[in-house]
Structure 1
């Protein structure tokens, strides 16, 4: 099941809350150009999950960990890595197997490591100042 929606920043909290009603995986891949709002959406999602930690892009640290209600979120940003080996060296596969939320920016850098059960979110420029969000859910027939 896939869907698309156009939204403004003022709609972000409602959009984030709605996404959790339909997302069917704890591994979420975030696609989009630099500056399009991937980290902003992740910040909103972490808040909806009950997080109180400051959410920032882990561009230099590669991964940030956030405490949320009864769970953890691992937030990856692979923009700066050269290849999937760097992700493996970081222990990326262990994070995937943890059972916690895993949010990944720039997942195209590690295509071969991505699980088939990941949800894909693509953010694009919409009309004027809005954004368009495309959501690709995990196929329930797998």
Structure 2
């Protein structure tokens, strides 16, 4: 398990650390609304040399980006999912099993679909405004 406390100016180094520590490319981001999940995902994508503008796929559920080398990266936001069957319908398992980077926000909405070897990243806001991150 990895634990980090950080502020926004540290996010580039946090992203690099996550990339270097990830043995699996499926990263599950847990945290309350406003904890900084999307901000961290944007920085990880930037460090992976994504050329596209990244944004939260809240309404589209999934966004696909391309890295400089042409690799696909998938960013899921399951906040608006009410039933796991919705996710089955668009083939989320194929994305998650693709071997490409997959960043999943609100994974607790689709627990039964997630790979067992995915990394769970929990972000919480501290009283002083810093963020605490645990990666398992």
TM-score over 0.5 for the alignment? yes
- Shift in Å, 1:97: 2.0
Poorly superposed stretches of 4+, deviation over 4 Å = none
Please show how residues 115-130 of structure 1 align to structure 2 within 5 Å.
Answer: 115-130=115-130
Q: Give the whole-Å Cα distance in 1 for the aligned partners of 2:18 and 2:127.
A: 21
Identify which range, 92-101 or 5-14, moves more after superposition: 92-101
Please show how residues 18-97 of structure 1 align to structure 2 within 5 Å.
Answer: 18-70=17-69, 71-97=71-97
User: Aligned-pair RMSD on alpha carbons?
Assistant: 0.9
Q: Cα deviation per residue 1:70-116 (whole Å; 9 max; x = unaligned)?
A: 31110000000101101111110111122111110000000011111
Q: Give the whole-Å Cα distance in 1 for the aligned partners of 2:125 and 2:10.
A: 15
Question: Which residue matches 1:12?
Answer: 11
Alignment TM-score, normalising by the size of structure 1: 0.92
Alignment TM-score, normalising by the size of structure 2: 0.96
The number of residues matched between the two structures is: 135
